[in-house]
Amino acid sequence: MFKDSNGRRNSLTSRVAVAVSIAALLGFSVDYKAMGQSSKLTIDEGKRDIVQRVRQYPDSDINFENFDAVPMLIQGAKVKEIGNVEYHQLTGLSADSPKYTTFPNVNLTNRTDQRVTGLVLMIGNRQTKRIHGVTLRKLSIEPNESYSVVASDWVRPEKKIHITAAGKILKQLKPDLDSEKMWWSGPVGDLVLRVAAVSFENGSRWVMDSSMDW
């Protein structure tokens, strides 16, 4: 944004219009295609700036409880929290919550004497009663070994088309902070994390029961 001679704030669109008018008065030709590309670059740079700024926000701990019977011990779980203004800046979507958090980065330890081959984590919002889970398969977590789950593991990869000299290539990419998929509505204080299920190499499986209330 910038201010004109009367102190009014003008948008990028206004600046483009002014530039076109000045160029016409001076007899210059206007490359509209190049200007469109310049505007897009400015928007892309703005999106990168907000993503980088949010990435530097401090991490916040979320609630969890390690019940006696849980095979995978949660050592820590952290998220980033933003307001609805930042959510709109990142995703371009209207916000329906005053606060949003990322899905958690979770550090766990296998507290059993068996190799863990699968894991289900669940996060819930105590106010809205919403629950979201992630299933991790083909793991190999040795006894007493640690394992980390990152925020992007909680969501499905996004399909992106990349244009090369050989043609179009479809890629599966993990979404970044500018994707609405990465954000969970509600403040960090309303969230709770649980280990919901653990699979072992010998074929046995542990599942959370009703006594492990949210």
Enumerate the domain spans of the chain. Answer: 2-53, 59-207
Q: Please give the model's pTM, rounded to 2 decimal places.
A: 0.73
Tally of helices (H runs) and strands (E runs) in the chain = 3, 16
Q: Look at strands 116-125 and 81-83 and give their pairing.
A: unpaired
H-helix segments, 82-189: 84-91
Beta strands in 59-115 (DSSP E): 60-61, 63-64, 72-79, 81-83, 99-102, 105-110
Pick the CATH number of 59-207 from 1.10.287, 2.60.120, 2.40.160, 2.60.40: 2.60.40
What pLDDT, on a 0 to 100 scale, did the predictor assign at position 45?
75
pLDDT in tens, the chain (214 residues): 444 444 444 444 455 455 545 545 555 544 545 445 554 455 577 788 999 999 999 999 999 989 889 999 999 999 999 999 999 999 999 989 999 999 999 999 999 999 999 999 999 999 999 999 999 999 999 999 999 999 999 998 876 666 666 666 666 778 899 999 999 999 999 999 999 999 999 999 999 987 666 6
In one-letter notation, the amino acid at residue 69 is: A
Provide the token pair at 8: 């009014």
Give yes or no for a contact between 83 and 209, defined as CB atoms under 8 angstroms apart: no
What pLDDT, on a 0 to 100 scale, did the predictor assign at position 20?
45
